[in-house]
Structure 1
Amino acid sequence: MSPPSKGWLARLLEPIAGFGVTFRTMFVKPTTEFYPEQKVPTAPRYHGRHQLNRYPDGLEKCIGCELCAWSCPADAIFVEGADNTATERFSPGERYGRVYQINYLRCIGCGLCIEACPTRALTMTNDYELAGTSRAGMIYDKWQLLAPLDPDMLAPPHPMYPGATDEDYYRGNITGPAPEQAVGPADDDVEPDPEVRR
């Protein structure tokens, strides 16, 4: 025995019931964001543009280990490390990131590079405006990614805090520039500290 067929009225109302959501929302005021005139703040942990951080005295946190590049699933990061010398010190460790590039045409914003960084040199900011007019312009280099210098920081290269080791930097024991560095001496006037571990 076949199931009872629907009445003609039920068959007529079936298509109209499908438009129920449409009819319910036709008279609701739309929520429109007027971007870029009104920029809504992002969530605190939003994954935006990357930033290479500095220590309080201005030295770079990046040690050129390339762990961020190895952890990137999209192969968007290129790092080339170099050795610090007695006359040119960019980071407290033995090495620093001489070349650092992020290709934002490939970056998927996953944050795995942030987790891989052993010195917390790489973090992500809330800057989400990453549109560009050329493909080459979407490859950010080290100078576009470095955090700006605070007024009491000295631009590297310069020696480490007198008597400090790279471990003091990594443990957060350096809270500001050395007294002679705060004035901002010329690079050729600075003598390397003999106590610095190489």
Structure 2
Amino acid sequence: MAEQGKGKKPAPGKRSGNQPKRPTASRAPERARPGATPAKAGRAKTPAFDVDSDLDKSGLAEFFAPVAGFGVTMSTLFRPVVTEQYPFEKAPTAPRYHGRHQLNRHPDGLEKCIGCELCAWACPADAIYVEAGNNTPEAQYSPGERYGKVYQINYLRCIFCGLCIEACPTRALTMTNDYELAGTTREKMIFEKDTLLAPLRSGMLAAPHPMVAGLSDGDYYRGDVSGPTTEQVAWVKERRPEDESLSAAGAAATRAAKGGKE
């Protein structure tokens, strides 16, 4: 009977008497996640606020407490005053300050704007509106075929980024140092062409009038025109004898003609 029991296999799930025990794997400790603080870690205790701490001050500390509180104020009293008395005293702006826009003119008085609308396309705030018109022999406002008939800038939208200045191919649009653009109504903040157009300088002839004889619009853009000619002055005098710019423009044209002959 003993020999017959030697060939028997142990039942499933039971170990024989001489079979070694399988070592049990010890459970590895859990690693803390980065940035996580253990629940039972030692934390710095916040000291309790003592409402009676001011009562423990000495008499000298209580005497100088208001002086310490107004230390910044007292030290500022002895510094020079830097307050600007605007609008009675206006401080100069930086040379490259971006202020109100201006539509420029050529030296003879013709407008530089050709109504190409590139400034309106470049505006990220959609603040510019341009409507072009055609030049005619009796109404020549700018060199070439077209001019800016309608020009509006909405300063309620303008962000003064200067992208319209970079897009202008004729340098007709620039920005001045004028920063006083306040208005009482929304309509007054939409500047029209008559407000944006640069005033006539001494010696310029008010448009419309013909271009300088023998020159093209490219000559104007290259700066070959230095002022009005006697032919232009005669043309305006015949059609607009009451024009206020005739006297100064006529004198400038006469001087230029004499200088050319010499």
Q: TM-score, length-normalised on structure 1?
A: 0.82
Letter in 1 for 2:160: G
Say whether 1:143 aligns with 2:191.
no
Match of 2:75 in 1: 27
Contact 1:157–1:187 (CA under 8 A) maintained in structure 2: no
Using CA pairs under 8 Å that are at least 6 residues apart, name the structure with larger relative contact order, 1 or 2. 1
The 5 Å alignment of 1:2-13 reads: 2=43
Secondary structure (helix, strand or coil) at the match of 2:237 reads coil
- Percent identity of equivalent pairs: 64
Question: CA–CA distance in 1 between the matches of 2:100 and 2:190?
Answer: 12
How far 1:178 moved relative to its partner? 1.2
Is 1:179–2:230 an aligned residue pair? yes
Q: Distance in 2 between matches of 1:88 and 1:5?
A: 84
SS of equivalent residue, structure 1 residue 69: helix
Q: Could you tell me which of 163, 171, 174 is aligned with 1:112?
A: 163
Counting matched residue pairs gives 181
* 1:152–1:182 contact (8 Å) kept in structure 2: no
| Residues 39-188 of structure 1: pairs in structure 2 closer than 5 A | 39-182=90-233, 184-187=236-239
- Find the residue that maps to 1:93 and give its secondary structure: coil
Unmatched runs of 5 consecutive residues or more in structure 1: 13-19, 190-198
Instruction: Specify whether residues 134 and 2 from structure 1 end up closer, same or farther in structure 2 by C-alpha distance, changes over 3 A only.
Output: closer
Runs of 5+ consecutive residues of structure 2 not aligned to the other structure: 1-41, 55-67, 242-262
1:159-185 deviation digits (Å, cap 9, x = unpaired): 000111000001111111112334652
Aligned residue type for 1:65: C
Task: Determine helix, strand or coil for the equivalent of 1:168.
Answer: helix
Q: Secondary structure at the match of 1:144?
A: helix
User: Where does residue 5 of structure 2 map in the other structure?
Assistant: none
Cα deviation, residue 123, structure 1: 0.3
* AA aligned opposite 1:180: E
Tell me which structure has the larger Cα radius of gyration. Answer: 2
Give the superposition deviation at 1:31.
Answer: 2.4
SS in 1 for 2:203: coil
One-letter amino acid of the structure 1 residue matched with residue 75 of structure 2: F
Contact 2:143 2:217 in 1 (8 A): yes
1:151 shift after superposition: 2.5
Aligned Cα root-mean-square deviation (Å): 2.7
Deviation at 1:25, TM superposition (A): 6.0
- Tell me how far apart the structure 2 counterparts of residues 182 and 32 of structure 1 sit (CA, whole Å): 51
- When normalised by structure 2's length, the TM-score is 0.63
Most deviating of 160-169 and 23-32: 23-32
Q: CA 1:148/1:158 → structure 2, altered by over 3 Å: closer, same or farther? A: same
